[in-house]
Structure 1
Amino acid sequence: MPTPPHPLSLPDVPRETFERLVCFADLLTRWTQKINLISSRDLPHLWSRHIEDCLQLVPLVERGTRITDLGSGGGFPGLILAIAADADVTLVESDRRKAAFLREASRATGCRTRVIDRRIETLDLPPAPVVTARALARLDQLLDWSAPLIAPGGFALFLKGQHAPDELTDAERHWHMTVERIPSRTPGGTILKISDIRRV
């Protein structure tokens, strides 16, 4: 298992939350040997590249809020927010093996989640205050999927990489939106907080 950081290096994470994150990391490491949750090359960097990246979203959501997480995969960022923000998260993952992992990880960490193993375009969910996604699709596609799933007054949080500016330029051809760009601690990364989404 990748060595977790010392708890003092994550000063905003309570001890109980840290222990649940360690439980999650251990389970993900074991399952990744059977199914492709993350790249095996990424396993040594699981904490810095994946878990800590997602923890950046915790201050951006209200504790206990409802979240719909699209393309949850190995649990990023939805399961991390369920653990660290006590969020009530609907995890959408069409791959049934990954969905099985998400159910087991939710049980083991004591999270409030619901796992839906269906394709995003077939969803019929009540709108949520927050919609999240990470490393899933280009922004234009994310907005198409997310717009009907965000409750009035809500917003989307997308963890994006170095191509975020180009994706924003492309998306603005088809969408009106309010965008807040939040610098990421992950090199080359950007957090996009997007609200007031409507088609041009």
Structure 2
Amino acid sequence: MNREAVEVPGWLNVSRETLAQLFDFCDLVEKWNPVINLVSRAGIADLWQRHVIDSAQLFFKSPEGGAAWCDLGSGGGFPGIVLAILAKELRPDVTFTLVESDSRKAVFLAESARVLSLPVVVLSHRIENLAPQNADVLTARALAPLSLLCGFAHRHLKPSGIAIFPKGAAATHEIDDARKTWSFKCESSQSRTDADAAVLTIRDIHRA
């Protein structure tokens, strides 16, 4: 990735050191991708905007004070590693647990955390077999329908916790479908990277 050519949005107000870490992470993804297939070919071609910036926006939806963050289905580190890089500067009290059942991707996540000196624990488990994480904030990107994500959030969030889920054009349909099984408060805001997408912040999750 040509670091000089990337566009940094004004809302991503971070230090040069943090930007450098984001770029370094992109380099790691590009290095490992031919072996593990972390993102698609199209994703590699637009890695910065499509994955890094799209992931970074979730950080600014999180509440102040939550110290335990859990990212489910972390895959190639989007959003988990990106969020941990931002937190290192902006909220250094936050620690991250990244959950990824694919052992090869879990190795990549652990190596990225080591190279970038991030406060990250990687768990290579299936989500449904994972012990409750008692997280303040929970994220998942391109993992599952909202109805299933609400079940994960109900299990792994503190009662006062918040879930942050980016969703595509079908977000409204997913909300309606999830409400058949779950009761929750939901705020929807337009994605900063896709006019047809939304970021859902969800709390107070209970079975309907």
Same fold (TM over 0.5): yes
SS at match of 2:36: coil
Q: Tell me how far apart the structure 2 counterparts of residues 5 and 36 of structure 1 sit (CA, whole Å).
A: 23
- Contact 2:66/2:137 (8 A) holds in 1: no
* Aligned match for 2:112, one of 101, 105, 111: 105
Q: 1:159 to 1:112 in 2, by over 3 A?
A: same
- For residue 56 of structure 1, report the CA deviation from its aligned partner: 0.6
- For residue 152 of structure 1, report the CA deviation from its aligned partner: 2.1
- Contact 1:176/1:199 (8 A) holds in 2: yes
- Contact 1:138/1:167 (8 A) holds in 2: yes
* Aligned match for 1:114, one of 111, 121, 140: 121
Determine the structure 2 residue equivalent to 1:20.
21
Q: Tell me how far apart the structure 2 counterparts of residues 181 and 135 of structure 1 sit (CA, whole Å).
A: 16
- For residue 10 of structure 1, report the CA deviation from its aligned partner: 6.4
- For residue 6 of structure 1, report the CA deviation from its aligned partner: 5.0
- For residue 125 of structure 1, report the CA deviation from its aligned partner: 3.4
Q: 1:16 to 1:138 in 2, by over 3 A?
A: same
Matched, 1:136 2:131: no
Aligned residue-pair number: 200
Q: 1:13 to 1:76 in 2, by over 3 A?
A: same
Q: Which runs of 4+ in 1 moved over 3 A?
A: 1-4, 6-11
Partner amino acid, structure 2, of 1:54? S
- For residue 124 of structure 1, report the CA deviation from its aligned partner: 0.5
- For residue 8 of structure 1, report the CA deviation from its aligned partner: 7.4
- Contact 1:64/1:88 (8 A) holds in 2: no
Determine the structure 2 residue equivalent to 1:32.
33
Determine the structure 1 residue equivalent to 2:179.
172
Q: Which residues in structure 2 correspond to 1:1-200 (within 5 Å)?
A: 1=1, 3=3, 5-6=6-7, 11-61=12-62, 62=64, 65-86=67-88, 87-187=94-194, 188-200=196-208
Note the alpha carbon deviations across 1:144-175, whole angstroms, 9 max, x for none.
Answer: 11211111211100011111111001001111
- For residue 2 of structure 1, report the CA deviation from its aligned partner: 5.3
- For residue 85 of structure 1, report the CA deviation from its aligned partner: 1.8
- For residue 14 of structure 1, report the CA deviation from its aligned partner: 1.5
Q: 1:172 to 1:7 in 2, by over 3 A?
A: closer
Partner amino acid, structure 2, of 1:19? A
SS at match of 1:34: helix
Q: 1:5 to 1:111 in 2, by over 3 A?
A: same
Q: 1:6 to 1:181 in 2, by over 3 A?
A: closer
Partner amino acid, structure 1, of 2:23? V
Q: Tell me how far apart the structure 1 counterparts of residues 206 and 59 of structure 2 sit (CA, whole Å).
A: 26
Which TM-score applies when normalising by structure 2?
0.91
- For residue 63 of structure 1, report the CA deviation from its aligned partner: 7.0
Listed as ranges, the gaps of 5+ residues in structure 2 are 89-93
Listed as ranges, the gaps of 5+ residues in structure 1 are none
Partner amino acid, structure 2, of 1:116? L
Which TM-score applies when normalising by structure 1?
0.94
